Structure 1
Amino acid sequence: MIGILDDMKQIEIFKGPQSSSYGPNAMAGVINFISNDPSKDKNLNISSSIYSNNSYSYTASSSLKLTNKVLYRFTLSQNYTDGFINNISNKNQSDTNSKDESLFRMKFLYTPNKYSSILFTTYFVNLNNKYDVWTPDNNGFTTFSDFQGLDKQNTKALSIKSDYKLNNSILELITTYSYNKILYSYDGDWGNLNYWEEEYDYYENSPIYFDDEACNNAYQGYLMCPDNYYPYAFTDVTNRIRESYSQELRVKYNLRGNAILTSGLYYSQIKEHDKRDGWLFAGAATNINSIFDITNYALYTQISYPITNSLLISSTLRFDVNHTKQDLKYNYYDSYYNILQDEYQNQIKDKNLIGGNIKINYQYNKSLILNAYISRGYKTSGINQTQYPDFDESFRIYDTESCNNLELGLNYNSKKYKLKLSSFYMERINPQLRLSHQYTNDPTSFDYATYNAKSAYHYGMEIEITASLSKFLTLSQSISILKTLVSGFEYQNNLYGDRELSHSPNQKYTSTLSYDFSKYITGLSLNAESNYVGEFYFEEQNNIKSKPYNLINMSLKYNYKNSTISLWVKNITNKKYAIRGYSFVLDPTYTIKSYQSFGDLRSIGITVNFNIKN
């Protein structure tokens, strides 16, 4: 979502398995978005932007004091862009991949006395987005689809957090609920009838596909020819309702010696109902009606103990029980192309999910902090609902994945220099991989399944350096080095693995220059940024890689009293770079080819911000 960062207080990034800081378990890290709470001081913030491709955005947020005990804050955000796609199916259209997104968030803080508080948060999100990014000829930004894909979501959510101070402890109660209505659809062939006829000679009486001899050879008498010509047109539509509820009880105890003990109980339930129409289960079904019901119970505890003024040790332990139920009904084709009905039910229960961590922080001096972190996490098992005929039933249930993680790091801060250095090693047992299968008679006759390899590992290093070379000039550099390997595995009688994991570039570099022109013009500053991303595999099942790319962004900002004006440009060089890729059969030649979608081209804009405080 474009405006998810509007009116944020801070963004917390926790790497590696997280076992007790938050209610839900996370195996590969947590990103925690913390929006601004209501405050006693009246304030109003308004921000507006206009930029390339008929794009605009605005955000308004304000805090009000309703009574001495009740504070209120709201955030309103609207974002729109046509995107970078030009569709030429019928006529030139520039909005077939547009984004139209809005958010409204309200917060009420009730403080009846100094011992308790209740924070009520509710938000409404509406994503009215279109989807059209893939092209049969891989050109990237000129599409030929004649069916408008959609990517819509309507979300209503709330949370209630209550804090109670009880002597040397704090009791926290957290309740959350969300209701999400989702529509996802796309043009499965990425083309139109004229395109397939002109490029591939695909039409009703085509001598390649649909004269008597060609048709009989293709269908071997199963279909009448040429009366049973079918246009090369495929669509896929999914309607989904996802409902989630959670309840958490957390108690923080202040123990002797400044030690802190945190213990909690967590419960969550997710119910997802999918209705989907298209060529499903690798072409074996016409529609599905699927319900997943996932229940999670967890118990966790954490203790933080300062050994000395310089040495702090903390440890956590978590125990989870996860119960997954599936109820599936679907229509499918028999060998004579008759449509029949079938159903499938299954359930699994994970009872022995145990994770935890130990973290050591040592402050060597005022400038240098050393830390070490060892942890164990997990990702629960699940059910593959696919029903395509060649599916191996031994893969119906995929196993729980677990990981062991070790991280060493240091933080150094001085007046002129800042350094963050971390190295890590993660071992994954039974890594869960998302794999696909396709029958080659139409582009949407593919399906996905989650499969366990035997093992995988990740190791690497991250470095961040910031140097204040003068009062006006600051340079920073971040470097990420990553190595991965997944063990060899067999899927659909093919061997894969024994190589790097997909979407895991070996190198990422970011260089930033910030210059303050205040000695010439008060309030004027310049920021330039270069982002390099190395090559990576697109999928686990093929050896197609992306190309390395470097994106350059720049902004010129002017601050005056309570307002800011910023002129900015992203991707200055208008670099074309691939972000996703698949290899499968799309066109009527029934040949496996590779296809890619691409990131945003150059965008130029202006942003104005007003901040009024009272």
Structure 2
Amino acid sequence: MAIMLATSAHAQEASSNVLTSAEASESGDIVVTAQRRSERLQDVPIQVNAFGSQTLQDAGARNVQDAISLVPNMTLDRANVYHSSYITLRGITQIENADPPVAVIVDGVPQTNQRQVNPSLYDIQQIEILKGPQGSLYGRNAEAGAINIVTKAPTNNLTGAWNASYGNGETINVGAVLSGALVNDVLLFRVGGEYAHSDGLIRNTFTGDNADFVDHDYTIRGRLIFKPAERLTLDGRIEYSDFRAGSNYYSAVFSADANDYRLPQNNLEGVSFGNNTNYTMKADYDLDFATLTSISGYSRVNEDNYSDLDFRNPVQSPGGFLGLGIQIGVGQQLLSKIFSQEVRLVSNGSNRLRYSIGAYYLHTARGYRTRVFVDLTGSGDQQFNPALVISDQFTHDDNNSYAGFGQVDLDLTEQLMLTGGFRYDVDEREQTNLLTGLVRRKSFKKAQPKATITYKPAEGKLLYLTYGKGFRSGGFNTPNSAIPIFQDESLDNFEAGFKTSFADGALRLNGAVFRERVKNFQYFFVDATSGSQVIANIDRVNITGVELELQAVPLPGLTANVGIGYTHADIKNFGQFPQYAGNKTPRNIPFSSTGSLQYRGTIGSNVTGIARVDYQYNNKKYWTIDNNSVQNSWTIINGRLGVETGGFGIYAFGKNLTNAKYYTEYQPQAYTGEDVDLGFRGQPRTYGVELRYSF
């Protein structure tokens, strides 16, 4: 069992499975860009999990959630609307309609909206997951860590690939990509797209339909690199996606037991639909001593949804919402426009003094409307009938953020390095109630220093001590909320870690112990009676944790990874509810472990075989501040078998093979305004076959 536990990047014999040969050092070590420059993973004084395109393919990872499932002390839960996700890292968790605690960066551009933090990993070069505050390098919202995603770059040679898979629930995924040169070494292109459809697997027991259906979800992406001069590189990317899928399929849990796994029974089927557009332009200019980089990004996020809000039906629950004899529904419209601009200067080479400095600007314009209505017909269109609307919240939020940042590395000796980082954020927020004209304004500011001392006693050995401050901005709840403004959250992280390598990299053991002191810990609940989604603060939280990760290559072609994580998040001071002092924080999982065992090698003439098992174990999950709703431990096991020859590959896969039952969100009635607990079911067992071809 121990050899099946796992996480993170593979030790090499499989380092070609982690990053491409262009990104691997001559010794075969894993190379990452976690500190904005190419470095050996084992030389970076940060706990980093790195996965390259081959590793992601071998693990069957289709999105960031799948990659995070390979990392201890970290989860990404899907709940609520189709694209809504909740990241939790080292006890710091995502809040609905607020900034994420983990910066998600795609090709240098931050993804600041909650609907953007779980992008598809199709045609991805690599993904790096950094733990601990990373504001001096990765900017806004890097309070608990950062996820750095790099898409595959265009190539001179004409290359391409396609894949298609079919699984239970009539689930279809197809994708294709083509790359080449319009003018060799001067103008390179890459275009690709993917499409998904599923009839779903989670049955609505009232309608008989599957609540988690995906009518369609497709993405088209294009990228162009232009090198007009030897020193200048321009890199542009455009992406468009469109979707329509099941939404808000919460189950009514009448027993009020977080381990009573019920199916949805709603009479009003939830649906999300919308589209997203992303534009990116990056310019690099080589100044010899440093590289000057400009990164501009624009995103338009549009998502509408409607669903049941009492999460029952008039046949089985004739008493209706709060026993009033009525059924209610909710409709929401979100439109968010995001522009970001970053300029930075990064030193070239491996001199004793290395630096990265820059400035950042972000503007977000967000319109959000929520209507709660009496449900008479089971149709989402009822939200537009004024006679049926019982609550209407319509706000427009403007956010302007400014920041300056920098980080310096100084080699004091060959074995000793000192790192200093700093970031200062100013977050100016304005909210307009479009129904009343009321305008609210507030600014949030925070300095975020970081200091690290790194000692390398011998080749393949590293010790580090680090301190860093993390920051997540505050903001506004809906105008009629009992808590109109929630405060900014900050943490002080004290961490000691080590990295070791033995047997020419065939065995690696990395680990860290950390202590976080959090001020104004943000947590979330829903008030169904007013249609409000509310964010509030816990005054003080202390978090203590440990991480250990082992990567091994015991035999040629055989790789094993083991990872464990422990997080104790303790409420120290809670002025609003002093009786909860000493409790665990919401969504806290005290212990988790992950693992993989994979064989990739020749099994015949020009035939490569692959067999892989992934394992994820989560200890009890504490859903709420009162700790009354606790989900028992659960285990997810995934598997994949395949053969490859001549550019072709055929694979059989399965996820959640034991069909474990669990909730990805659980809300007791005390925190929802409902008269029943609500649970959001995790995905049941899925299985299927996949074909791939590349040239």
Q: Report TM bin, short chain.
A: 0.7 to 0.9
List aligned pairs for 1:172-187, cutoff 5 A: 172-187=293-308
Tell me, yes or no, if structure 1 residue 478 matches structure 2 residue 599: no
Relative to total residues, which structure has the larger strand share, 1 or 2? 1
**Match for residue 608 of structure 1?**
691
Tell me, yes or no, if structure 1 residue 364 matches structure 2 residue 457: yes
Deviations 1:225-263 (A, max 9, x none): xxxxx7521111111110011111212245995422222
TM-fit CA distance, 1:94: 2.9
- Out of 428, 442, 446, the residue aligned to residue 348 of structure 1 is 442
How far apart are the structure 2 equivalents of 1:532 and 1:36? 31
**Match for residue 28 of structure 1?**
144
Q: Which stretches in structure 2 are left out of the alignment for 5+ residues?
A: 1-61, 64-118, 255-259, 375-387
List aligned pairs for 1:104-503, cutoff 5 A: 104-137=220-253, 140=261, 142-197=263-318, 232-253=326-347, 257-278=351-372, 286-330=391-435, 342-350=436-444, 352-388=445-481, 391=482, 395-415=483-503, 416-437=506-527, 439=529, 445=530, 447-491=532-576, 495-503=579-587
TM-fit CA distance, 1:455: 0.8
Deviations 1:20-68 (A, max 9, x none): 2234342111111110111112210111111111101011112110113
Aligned length: 557
Instruction: Note if contact 2:235-2:283 (Cα within 8 Å) is conserved in structure 1.
Output: yes
Tell me, yes or no, if structure 1 residue 552 matches structure 2 residue 642: no
**Match for residue 537 of structure 1?**
622
Residue 265 to residue 435, structure 1, CA distance change in 2 (3 Å) = same
TM-fit CA distance, 1:511: 3.2
How far apart are the structure 2 equivalents of 1:98 and 1:591? 28
Residue 170 to residue 473, structure 1, CA distance change in 2 (3 Å) = closer
Instruction: Note if contact 1:189-1:232 (Cα within 8 Å) is conserved in structure 2.
Output: no
SS in 1 for 2:138: coil
How far apart are the structure 2 equivalents of 1:446 and 1:591? 11
Residue 252 to residue 526, structure 1, CA distance change in 2 (3 Å) = closer
TM-fit CA distance, 1:313: 2.4
Which protein has the larger Cα radius of gyration, Structure 1 or Structure 2? 1
How far apart are the structure 2 equivalents of 1:55 and 1:257? 52
Aligned-partner residue type, residue 378 of structure 1:
F
Residue 483 to residue 586, structure 1, CA distance change in 2 (3 Å) = closer
Tell me, yes or no, if structure 1 residue 58 matches structure 2 residue 174: yes
Q: Which has the higher contact order (CA 8 A, sep 6+)?
A: 2
- The range that moved more, 404-413 or 49-58, is 404-413
Residue 153 to residue 306, structure 1, CA distance change in 2 (3 Å) = farther
TM-fit CA distance, 1:285: 5.9
Aligned-partner residue type, residue 106 of structure 1:
G
Q: Which stretches in structure 1 are left out of the alignment for 5+ residues?
A: 210-229, 331-341, 440-444
Aligned-partner residue type, residue 264 of structure 1:
G
TM-fit CA distance, 1:279: 5.9
Aligned-partner residue type, residue 420 of structure 2:
S
Aligned-partner residue type, residue 349 of structure 1:
S
**Match for residue 660 of structure 2?**
575
Instruction: Note if contact 1:247-1:268 (Cα within 8 Å) is conserved in structure 2.
Output: yes
Identity of aligned residues (%): 20
Instruction: Note if contact 2:281-2:295 (Cα within 8 Å) is conserved in structure 1.
Output: yes
- The range that moved more, 395-404 or 561-570, is 395-404
**Match for residue 67 of structure 1?**
183
How far apart are the structure 1 equivalents of 2:523 and 2:389? 23
How far apart are the structure 2 equivalents of 1:432 and 1:143? 29
Let me know the Cα RMSD of the aligned residues: 2.8
SS in 2 for 1:114: coil
Instruction: Note if contact 1:386-1:448 (Cα within 8 Å) is conserved in structure 2.
Output: no
- Out of 195, 199, 207, the residue aligned to residue 78 of structure 1 is 195
Aligned-partner residue type, residue 398 of structure 1:
F
Deviations 1:264-309 (A, max 9, x none): 11111001011221169xx996212200001001111221222233
How far apart are the structure 2 equivalents of 1:262 and 1:530? 38
Instruction: Note if contact 1:96-1:130 (Cα within 8 Å) is conserved in structure 2.
Output: yes
Instruction: Note if contact 1:84-1:141 (Cα within 8 Å) is conserved in structure 2.
Output: no
How far apart are the structure 2 equivalents of 1:256 and 1:555? 41
SS in 2 for 1:80: strand
Instruction: Note if contact 1:410-1:422 (Cα within 8 Å) is conserved in structure 2.
Output: yes
* TM-score, length of structure 2 as denominator length: 0.75
How far apart are the structure 1 equivalents of 2:664 and 2:350? 52
- The range that moved more, 43-52 or 145-154, is 145-154
Instruction: Note if contact 1:59-1:75 (Cα within 8 Å) is conserved in structure 2.
Output: yes
Aligned-partner residue type, residue 14 of structure 1:
L
- Out of 98, 122, 126, the residue aligned to residue 10 of structure 1 is 126
Deviations 1:471-491 (A, max 9, x none): 354433211111111234254
